[in-house]
Amino acid sequence: MAGQSKVDALPPWGNAIAGSAGAVLANALVYPLDIVKTRLQVQVKRSPSSADPNPADDQHYTSTLDAISKIVKADGVTGLYAGITGSLLGVASTNFAYFYWYTVVRSLYISYRQASTPPSTAIELSLGAVAGAVAQLFTIPVAVVTTRQQTVSKHERKGLIATGQEVINSEDGWSGLWRGLKASLVLVVNPAITYGAYQRLRDQLYPGKKTLRPAEAFLLGALSKSLATIATQPLIVAKVGLQSKPPPARAGKPFKTFVEVMQYIIQHEGPLGLFKGIGPQILKGLLVQGFLMMTKERIELMFVLLFRYVRQLRAEKLQKLADLAAEKARGAAPILAK
């Protein structure tokens, strides 16, 4: 982190715990928005010029509020929290892996270059992309299962393990759990843009400042995430389409690539269909990223203070041992003199 001394710098696992804890708390607070944006992104309505006689889905949502109303009516309030266990598990594992590897590769880069100035924007984006790619390889199965849970009705919904088994049995075997991997790897530019922009804005607006105030961290996190979401929304929509059940109009035939999903959406809804659900997506991202970075900054500060306290206790203990050894040496000196 820019501006931190080596004494105060956290190890990679410290940043990883702080980041994953902040992400879990933030996502739990706004989880209903996650359900809504996923439902909006997975639905494909028929365009007026389409010759397809089949509706793309049985339920259609016209807005965020309409989606919330219909989900509550169909599944109760608990329907707004469908798949939350798997989602938070995925959030925790993804963010732990991301922040761990981001801290590792950023530290290695700075150490290798022996630079006192922060990395450039391009380098920040590249480091974030590397960390995001590594994180996605290990955590995408949880995302696939969670998306499936979020996009089926209450009567079809199964538990985390059962849904995973269904994906394995009904599609491409174990590889079905990595459906959308290519899109996810492309989408590493989203957290790369987010955290790269956050780090860059922080270095520019608060140079040398070790700890940001909650409001400052929230503002930077929300702004950086909004920029990343607008830039990557078509890929986000395509990934959701890959990981959910295919629309009825495809007669059960799953999509194979995110390009195929995008072509299908454009055919049925036009180019603007690639930006559906962007309202709740940005709102969710804005709140999550704001709360995440605000919480992460506080947890990192707690870790720094804890490490200082532990080092102080260790130093005091070593000093006592040194004093005791010196006292014994002074006591032994007269005996040796005799």
Question: What is the CATH classification number for the domain harbouring 237?
Answer: 1.50.40.10
Please give the residue range of the domain that contains residue 248: 12-309
Task: Evaluate whether residue 331 is within a structural domain.
Answer: no
Q: What is the pLDDT of residues 288-330, one digit of tens each?
A: 777 777 777 777 777 777 777 788 888 888 888 887 877 777 7
Judged by DSSP in three states, 158 sits in coil
Q: What is the pLDDT of residue 4?
A: 45
Q: What is the pLDDT of residues 113-165, one digit of tens each?
A: 776 666 776 777 777 778 778 777 777 888 888 888 877 777 777 877 888 88
Task: Evaluate whether residue 139 is within a structural domain.
Answer: yes
Q: How many CB atoms lie within 10 A of CB 24?
A: 19
- Residue 282 in contact with residue 217, Cβ under 8 Å? no
Report d(CA 144, CA 99) in Å as an integer: 21
Task: Evaluate whether residue 138 is within a structural domain.
Answer: yes
Q: What is the pLDDT of residues 25-42, one digit of tens each?
A: 888 888 898 888 888 888
Task: Evaluate whether residue 27 is within a structural domain.
Answer: yes
Task: Evaluate whether residue 326 is within a structural domain.
Answer: no
Question: Domains in the chain: how many in total?
Answer: 1
Q: Count how many residues are written for the chain.
A: 338
Section 7-18 average pLDDT: 69
Q: What is the pLDDT of residue 333?
A: 56
Task: Evaluate whether residue 190 is within a structural domain.
Answer: yes
User: Which of 36-50, 86-100, 213-227, 250-264 bottoms out in mean pLDDT, i.e. has the lowest?
Assistant: 36-50
Q: What is the pLDDT of residues 170-198, one digit of tens each?
A: 766 777 777 777 777 777 777 778 877 88
Task: Evaluate whether residue 3 is within a structural domain.
Answer: no
> Which of 139, 38, 162 has the alpha carbon at shortest distance from 92?
139
> Which of 245, 250, 279 has the alpha carbon at shortest distance from 263?
250
Q: What is the pLDDT of residue 45?
A: 63
- Residue 93 in contact with residue 142, Cβ under 8 Å? yes
Task: Evaluate whether residue 333 is within a structural domain.
Answer: no
Tokens of 221: 């996190």
Q: Please report which confidence band the pLDDT of residue 53 belongs to, taking 50, 70 and 90 as the band edges.
A: very low
Q: Is the dihedral of CA 65, 70, 75, 76 positive or negative?
A: positive
